[in-house]
Structures are given as structure tokens and as C-alpha cells.
Chain A
Amino acid sequence: MNGIHDMGGMDGFGPIEREADEPVFHEPWEGRIFALNMAAGALGKWNLDRARYMREQSDPVEYLTLGYYEGWVLRLEAMGVEFGLFTREELERKRTALAAAEKS
């Protein structure tokens, strides 16, 4: 196991950036994706180890550049497809429909 997630001891990441009075979620969508992951996880199709495994399969560049909850969005999309909650096509169609509805 030497994936990008295995960060203990790595050099070069610089100082630790802290935010005073940080909110639990910075944007409403972060709270939604957090809760959706919990609610979908409660369906019992996968366990925490599986969810971690999915996160650890990320492209290393993506792992380092995506925000934390952005990673959760991609993971829930991937897990939902893999475990048959929905298909990739259904997801695309839904996105297109929502985008069109927003524009109109």
C-alpha cells in the first residue's frame, strides 16, 4: 500500500493552514453530500472499508487537487453505480435535466 493517501512522513506539503472559527460545512452542498453518503451508506450495500477503498482508488492528481467533500461527491457517484443504486446514464440525464431547469 503506497498510494497517495498514505501520507504519513511525506515531505514538502508546507505549513498547516488553519481557519479560525471554521464552520462544520463551508457550503450547503458539502452538508448535503456528507449526509447523502451517510444515508446511502445506511442502505447496507457497502461498508466503511469499501468506501475507504473507493476513496483510495482515486487518481493521485485528483486526490491532491479536489476538495475533501468534492472527493465525496465523486465517490458516491461511483459507489451508486457500482452497487446498482442508479446507472451512470440516469445520473447524466438527471444532471442535464436539472441544468436545463435552472436555465429556464
Chain B
Amino acid sequence: MSNHKHSAPLSDMVLRVKALESLLVEKGLVDPAAVDALVEAYETKIGPRNGAKVVARAWTDPAFKARLLKDGTAAIAELGFTGLQGEDILVVENTPNLHNLVVCTLCSCYPWSVLGLPPTWYKSPPYRARAVRDPRGVLREFGVELGADVEVRVWDSTAELRYIVLPERPAGSEGLSEDTLAALVTRDAMIGVAKVPTPRERVA
């Protein structure tokens, strides 16, 4: 924290939030139970496990995958994942020759309905600044080394359109069930800063 005029100690933020909540509740504008429910939903229900199910379905059901790449929002809704900041989602597919990376250079747009709320690094200046200028360097920082023959595409999210990466299905995952596959899929792989580990790597 700096000593800029608005940089307040944490206790002050706690007080400011309490004041806002209590005022909005008193005026009948906000129901505290609804606030509790929202916090709980984003802490426990709306997270990257949703996206992992979408990916696993795409890996095991070619017709679903085709629908997913054609109209991400509609196909994702088939699994019941709808809602805020998931209104328009484009699914971009990684292949052996193409790697996709998602960023929001302007702020923090992210497909909440399938990935939940973004991690702090996704919202941080270093990632936002560098993902578009040096995506290979960023990927290296995350431990992903791409060959020179692999094209990298960077998708800059907007309030209107959010992206999720359909990662490559890892080697050695043939014959695994959809649920087992979903357990392999990480949040970072769906942002495009990681590859999905093979079942062997996952165990190691």
C-alpha cells in the first residue's frame, strides 16, 4: 500500500464495506441473505470445476465439441452453466500447432460461469501488460515451453465476449471416464497458461 490519500488500512475497508451494506439493507435495496448466498455460490459452486466438466465432455463427445466450438454459450448451457459474465463465451481450441492464451488487458473480464472468479495474477498489471507483448515469455514463466512451430494466439477479453481454452487431451488418457478426465483439467489450462497434465504426471 502507498500513502496515497485513498489507501486505507484494512480495518478502514472493513468499516467502509459494513457501512455500505448496512445502508443498502436499511433502505431495503439489498437483502443480506442474498449477499450471503452470492458469496457462498462463488466460494463453493461457481468455479473451474464447471469448466473442467465442459472440457471433459468435449473430449469424449465429438458432437458436443462441435456445438461447443460453434456456439460456446449454448453448449455450456447444456451442462447447466449459465449466469453472470458467462453470457457470451467463445471456446478456442488448442492443437499440436496452435496454443491459445486468454487475458483481459483492460481489467479482469473472465468467464465466471465456467471458471469462477479470476485469480489475482490474472487481474495483475504484470500479466495484463505482458500477455499480449510477450506471450511466449509469459508461458515460459508458467512452465510452458512451446516449440517455434507452434502458433500462439492471444485473446483479449471484453465485457461483451469472454474466452475459455479447450486444452489438448493429454497422452495416456485414452479410455478414462469423463469424470476422471475432468479431474485432470486445471483452471490454468483453461486460461491457456498451462497444459493439462497426463494422468501419469498428475499422480507424480
How far, in angstroms, from A90 to B29 measured CA to CA in the complex? 15
Q: Which residue of B lies closest to A41 (CB)?
A: B84
Query: Are B23 and A91 in contact, CB atoms less than 8 angstroms apart?
Result: yes
* Chain B residues near A62 (CB-CB < 8 A): 4, 6-7
Q: CB distance A65 to B23 under 8 Å? A: no
From B6, B16, B38, contact of A95 by CB (8 A): B16
On chain B, the residues within 8 Å of A17 by CB distance are: 120-121, 124, 126
User: Contact between B119 and A98 (Cβ–Cβ < 8 Å)?
Assistant: no
Query: How would residues 19 to 44 of chain A score, 1 for a CB under 8 Å from any chain B CB and 0 otherwise?
Result: 10010110101011111101110010
Complex interface bits, B117-139 against A, C-beta within 8 A gives 1, otherwise 0:
10111011111111111000010
Q: How far is the CB of A63 from chain B (nearest CB, A)?
A: 9
Contact A18 B121 (CB under 8 A): yes
Question: A26 to B194, alpha carbons, bound, how many Å?
Answer: 24
A70 touches B13 (CB 8 A): yes
Partner of B126, one of A15, A33, A94: A15
B7 touches A65 (CB 8 A): yes
Beta-carbon contact of A32 and B39 below 8 Å: yes
Could you tell me the dominant secondary structure of chain A's interface residues?
helix
User: Which residue of A is nearest B123, CB measured?
Assistant: A68
Query: A16 contacts which chain B residues (CB < 8 A)?
Result: 121, 124, 126-127, 130, 138, 141-142
Of the candidates A8, A24, A98, the one whose C-beta lies within 8 Å of that of B47 is A24
Interface residues on chain B, size class: 35 or more
CA distance A14 to B121 in the complex (A): 12
> Given A16-B127, A62-B4 in contact, is the A7-B105 Cβ separation under 8 Å?
yes
Instruction: Flag B9-28 by CB within 8 Å of A: 1 or 0 each.
Output: 01001111111111110010
Interface size on A, residues (CB 8 A): 56
A-B contacts, 25 listed (Cβ < 8 Å)? A7-B106, A7-B125, A7-B128, A10-B129, A16-B121, A16-B124, A19-B119, A22-B119, A24-B117, A25-B39, A27-B10, A35-B35, A35-B42, A36-B20, A36-B24, A36-B30, A36-B35, A38-B38, A39-B35, A40-B24, A43-B29, A56-B106, A65-B2, A65-B4, A68-B120
Name A residues whose Cβ lies closer than 8 Å to a Cβ of B.
5-11, 13-19, 22, 24-25, 27, 29, 31-36, 38-40, 43, 48-49, 52, 55-56, 59, 61-62, 64-66, 68, 70, 73-74, 76-77, 80, 85-86, 90-91, 94-95, 98-99, 102
Nearest first, the 10 closest Cβ-Cβ pairs linking A and B are A8-B105, A35-B38, A31-B39, A13-B126, A10-B129, A65-B2, A94-B19, A95-B19, A7-B128, A13-B125
Besides A8-B156, A35-B39, A55-B107, 13 more A-B contacts (Cβ < 8 Å) are A8-B133, A9-B129, A11-B129, A16-B130, A24-B43, A32-B35, A33-B17, A34-B38, A38-B84, A39-B34, A39-B35, A39-B38, A73-B16
